[in-house]
A and B are shown apart, each in its own frame.
Chain A
Amino acid sequence: MQFGIFTVGDVTPDPTTGRTPTEAERIKATVAIAKKVEEVGLDVFATGEHHNPPFVPSSPTTLLGYVAAQTERLILSTSTTLITTNDPVKIAEDFDVLQHLSDGRVDVMLGRGNTGPVYPWFGQDIREAVPLTVERYELLRRLWREPVVDWEGRFRTPLQGFTVTPRPLDDVPPFVWHASIRTPEIAELAAYYGDGFFANHIFWPASHTQRMVAVYRSRFEHYGHGTAAQAIVGLGGQVFIRPRSQDAVAEFRPYFDNAPVYGHGPSLEEFMAQTPLTVGSPEEVIERTLGFREYVGDYQRQLFLVDHAGLPLKTVLEQLELLGGEVVPVLRKEFEAGRPADVPEAPTHESLVAAVRREQAAGSDDAGQDS
């Protein structure tokens, strides 16, 4: 099972000091966080993509390329890459270059974005979001799998005799996750192609996640990619940890109360009861996170949000120390213990290359038998 961090990339004033980091500070802090993720023994760092203030990550592969150069093991991902407003040609090119630079330590999480004006800013219509997603993703897949593409569609200028360069590393494209909060279409899309499905999970009741993952799993099986239990599931999580539970609550409360997404509404205690947010000791975080399995089944990837709402870098790095030092080692052991043998790990570049080689070997065996 993979563990990691996903970041939104918000520039938010620290409510305890009133100070807002500069964009430069926030971007450099994001790099420091990513490097720390590897240092403390976690597996994945995923950055958001936004094209409006108060967010900074408008160019995810630039950031991830810089992180790739300073890490060795870390899997670089996104949370999410906007399939609706990015040109699939540019997505294919950017992630191919990143794949080569990082020796295959890349996957991509596709999403639709949640800021209405982003669509018109990039020449698209939000009312067409679903057909746009289907068409663009199909093109992206072809660009990654076919050396020369002839293509025509509704939402982009046609391509005749187009070859994406560079080709994917080892001719194996990055693994794709499709992310959604509560859009069943995305679960269906992920299931149709046998891709991964990432449920945002945070800020929402677990019942939403449970329903979406159930749809994805059953449709994954329906489309013949394996059993429902073998579908590739990722979940978000949101934690704030201190050795003593009451310290965690006291320190996090001002950040919670003023957070842009959910602040000034329910209390911290109510929100913890209603959503996966866990503020407390390492033991409490471990217990809650292990509970996720009860409503989504054995899953492959757990990403935590730890760096939003104005939390200072120093605090975030301490959170990562606690996650890597005390929480994740126990989670790895416990999740592994209950895992049936036929439930796969999250695909990596190595496992995907190996699968292709096996298929090719099986193919040439068949050819040999035929002749």
Chain B
Amino acid sequence: MTQIVVVTGGLRQPSSTRLLADRIDAAVRAELGRSGLPVTSSFVELRPLGRAIMDAMLTGFAVPELEFAFETVAAADGVIAVTPAFNASYSGLFKSFFDVLPAETLADMPILIAASGGTDRHSLVLEHALRPMFSYLHAIVSPTGVYAATDDFGGQARASGLAVRIQKAAADFVRLMTACGTRTPRDTFNEELDEMTRLLADRQPGPSSGHVED
């Protein structure tokens, strides 16, 4: 079963970011379905996690509901990440989620980036903000992102229309996911342990006991 996880950073209800996320999710699932792959998807909405994300930033640990979101993302075969465009970038909440997400969670993760904004003048936010961040996090970012301006939701169905762009992005993403094959989530805890075991095995003297009484 292919598991798609949609991370969406919209703040209001209803949210155009969520609306965009829903449409991309549907297109990706349909595309995977055409390839004969069974698929499920789940959403990680960031707004209800707002306090948990900021607390994690301040305390260094995640409360259970945020931990659950981390595990959901870690277990995904592909991630769709959608943010509102704020001040020429992603929203602070969206960035903060990925700032507290444990390191290497997104390593080798196919990811489709998308953003919503007031006007189409902000569309390069995908290329200047989202793509570099996810590249830095070692995700495999799909070449085609989706940017939706408010006007797009009233736009006519045409060659450059939102529906066509979503369809193209979904098709590219599914090709990428299929090519990437099955993903094994990183286990940094045991990787670190194994590294230490190797380091200690290279030391000269063996372990010595002595203090534990029989």
Contact = CB atoms under 8 A, between A and B. Distances in A.
B124 interface: no
Interface of B: 54-55, 58-61, 63, 189-190, 192-193, 195-197, 199-200, 203-205, 207-213
Q: Which 6 A-B pairs have the closest CB atoms?
A: A265-B58, A185-B196, A226-B212, A188-B196, A225-B209, A184-B193
B203 A134 contact: yes
A130 B55 contact: no
Interface SS of chain A: helix
Of the candidates A232, A265, A356, the one having the most CB atoms from chain B within 10 angstroms of its own CB is A265
Nearest to B57: A265
A192 B60 CA distance: 28
B61 A204 contact: yes
A270 to B, nearest CB: 8
Interface string A236-255: 00000000000000000000
A335 interface: no
A162 interface: no
B199 A131 contact: yes
Contacts of A356: 210
Interface in A246-275: 262, 264-266, 270-271, 274
A347 B211 contact: yes
B211 A352 contact: yes
B197 A265 contact: no
A175 interface: yes
A184 B200 contact: no
B202 to A, nearest CB: 9
Contact of B205 (A134, A138, A264): A138
Interface string A338-371: 0000001001000110011001000000000000
Interface in A187-203: 187-189, 192-194, 203
A230 B207 contact: no
A183 interface: yes
A215 interface: yes
Given A194-B212, A203-B59, A351-B213, A188 B193 contact: yes
Contact of B208 (A193, A265, A270): A193
A295 interface: no
A271 B61 CA distance: 11
Contacts of B55: 265-266, 270
A274 B207 contact: no
A359 B210 contact: yes
A194 B211 contact: yes
A184 B189 contact: yes
A28 interface: no
Given A188-B200, A189-B200, A265-B54, A175 B193 contact: no
A232 B197 CA distance: 20
B192 A184 contact: yes
A285 B203 CA distance: 43
